[in-house]
Amino acid sequence: MSSRDEMLALFLKHPGEYVSGAAAAEELHISRAAVWKAVESLRSGGYHIDAAPRRGYRLSEENDILSPEGLSEEIGPLIEKEQIRVFGELPSTNRTAKELAVAGARHGTVVIADRQSGGSGHYARRFYSPGGGIYMSVILRPEQMPCYEPSRITLAAAAVTAESIEALCGVSPGIRWVNDLFLDGKKICGILTESASDLESGILEWIVVGIGINFAVRAGEFPEKIRDRAGSIYPCGHPGVPRMRLAGRILRDLLTAGDRKPEEWINSYRRRLLMKNEIVLLHSAGRTEKVRLIDLDEKGRLIARHGDGTSHLYTAGEIRPVQTGDKNFAV
pLDDT of residue 8: 82
Extended strands (E) in the chain: 49-52, 56-59, 84-90, 110-116, 134-140, 174-176, 180-183, 186-197, 204-213, 279-284, 287-296, 302-305, 311-314, 318-321
Sorted by sequence, the CB contacts under 8 Å of residue 77 that are 6+ apart come out as none
Query: What is the amino acid identity at position 331?
Result: V
pLDDT at 160: 96
pLDDT the model gives residue 327: 47
- The one-digit pLDDT tens for each residue of the chain (331 residues) are 688 878 888 887 787 789 999 999 999 999 999 999 999 888 876 678 889 998 999 888 666 778 888 898 889 899 999 999 999 889 999 999 999 999 999 999 999 998 888 876 665 567 778 777 899 999 999 887 765 677 789 999 999 999 999 999 999 999 999 999 999 999 999 999 999 987 777 788 999 999 999 998 887 788 888 888 899 999 887 777 888 889 999 999 999 988 888 889 899 999 999 999 999 999 998 899 999 999 999 999 999 999 999 999 999 889 999 875 554 443 3
* Cβ-contact 231, 214 below 8 angstroms: yes
| CB neighbourhood size of 105 (10 A) | 20
For residue 4, the model assigns a pLDDT of 83
Do the Cβ atoms of 268 and 159 come closer than 8 Å? yes
Rounded distance, CA 4 to CA 141, Å? 32
Q: Residue 18's CB: how many other CB atoms inside 10 A?
A: 16
Please give, one letter per residue, the 3-state secondary structure of 256-285.
Answer: CHHHCCHHHHHHHHHHHECCCCCEEEEEEC
Cα→Cα distances 9→1, 74, 175, 179, Å: 10, 11, 35, 34
Q: What per-residue confidence (pLDDT) applies to 60?
A: 80
pLDDT of amino acid 198: 77
Provide the whole-model pTM. Answer: 0.83
* Contact assessment for residue 160 and residue 258, using Cβ atoms and an 8 Å cutoff: no
Angle among Cα 225, 229, 233 to the nearest 5 degrees reads 120
Structural domains in the chain, sorted by start? 3-59 (1.10.10.10), 68-272 (3.30.930.10), 279-321 (2.30.30.100)
Q: pLDDT at position 146, please?
A: 62
Q: What is the pLDDT of residue 250?
A: 96
Instruction: Look at residue 220 in the predicted model and tell me its pLDDT.
Output: 79
pLDDT of residue 49: 86
Q: Where are the alpha helices (DSSP H) in 65-190?
A: 68-75, 93-102, 153-169
